[in-house]
Structure formats: structure tokens, C-alpha cells
Amino acid sequence: MSETEDPEDRIDATTTWPDLAIGLYDRLTGRNAEIVYDFEELSVDVPSVAGDGAEHATWRLDGTVRITTREHD
């Protein structure tokens, strides 16, 4: 997907979760929107490199991630 693509078209063409998140954010940007994620004891094993044999660091999140958008005058 190109950066110049219309956000309305981007959501309609969504095939993956990351694409859905990007499309949703694009659609809400400039509309005084807020996206809030609440996590309880979320653990993510993040690999040090791509491929087999990678070491992993465990990231833990227990709280809120808040993303807000607004129009600039």
C-alpha cells in the first residue's frame, strides 16, 4: 500500500492485522479520535534477529497505551 493511497480505500483492502491498524489510524487521524489499548499481564517474546536460533527478550506490559489524534489549526 502506498502512503498516498486514500485511507478509505486502505481499510477496504485490508488483509492483515497490521494493515487494519494502519487503516484505522489513518481514518481517525484529524478527527479528534482516541485509540486506547488496555493490557493485563501481556508478555511478548521479541527475537533478537529473524530466523532460527534467535535469542528472545520478554517484554511485559500491564497498563494502558493511549493514542490520540487532533487537527492542527
Tens digit of pLDDT for each residue in 31-69?
677 778 888 998 989 888 888 889 999 999 889 888 776
Q: What is the mean pLDDT of residues 4-24?
A: 67
Stated pTM of the model: 0.41
More confident residue, 59 or 18: 59
pLDDT of residue 11: 52
Contacts 24+ apart (CB under 8 A), 58-66: 63/38, 63/39, 64/36, 64/37, 64/38, 64/39, 65/36, 65/37, 65/39, 66/34, 66/35, 66/36, 66/37
Residue 32 near residue 13 (C-beta atoms within 8 A): no
pLDDT of residue 43: 92
